[in-house]
Amino acid sequence: MRGIPYAQFILPGLVTQAVLNVGYINGTTSLFEARQYRYVHDVLASPLRWWEVNAALVTGGVVRAALTAAGVLAVAMPLTGTGVRHPAVLLAAAAAAFITAAQTGILVGSYARSMDQGYSIETLVILPLGFLGGIFYSVARLPGPWRLASELNPVFYLVQALRIGFGGVADIPAALAVGVTWTLAILLTTWSVLVFRSGTLKA
């Protein structure tokens, strides 16, 4: 696929999916439980600034996602013979993916009224976006309408950016892939920051 063995082709996408799932769940459960058990107000009323609370939640999601990705790669890279062709692209893409996953989880955790809602969004939104984001196939082989649908999927750009970092090939240029992933990370971070700054978190 795209001139590289299939196992190497799908590995970046599988890592992306793992990162999104773990980072999302960490952010969602951490914040929702703080709201559910009503200790989020104690934290927000502490000497900690609102942005420090947000940064702590994001850091937790990022660290957990990074450890998960490292574990997957430690096993998969030797088995598949995958290398790193573009380290700078890989680092930039990975950082954006970590932040995107964590902030998505935090946003859902700040709005969800039950943990079931958080899990439903993972099942009905996060997972389908991943599977339809070009993890297992090249979107260049899709008919026009389906390719357009894939290109409207934000996870598609995360997968492509990591794929360029590892294998050096993808369906879109590296600048576009990394640019969209960081735009997504910045937009989600801005939204999350506004929620915390407004003080509208409810138990």
C-alpha span between 57 and 189 (Å, rounded): 12
Instruction: Point out the residues of the chain with pLDDT beneath 50.
Output: none
The string of pLDDT tens digits covering residues 65-123 is 999 999 999 999 999 999 999 999 999 999 999 999 999 999 999 888 888 998 999 99
What pLDDT score does 145 carry? Answer: 87
The pLDDT of residue 18: 95
| pTM for this model (two decimals) | 0.90
Residues 6+ apart with CB under 8 A from 60: 26, 27, 30, 102
**Helix 6-36 crosses helix 50-80 at what angle (to 10 degrees)?**
150
Residue 70, token pair as written in the block: 């490292």
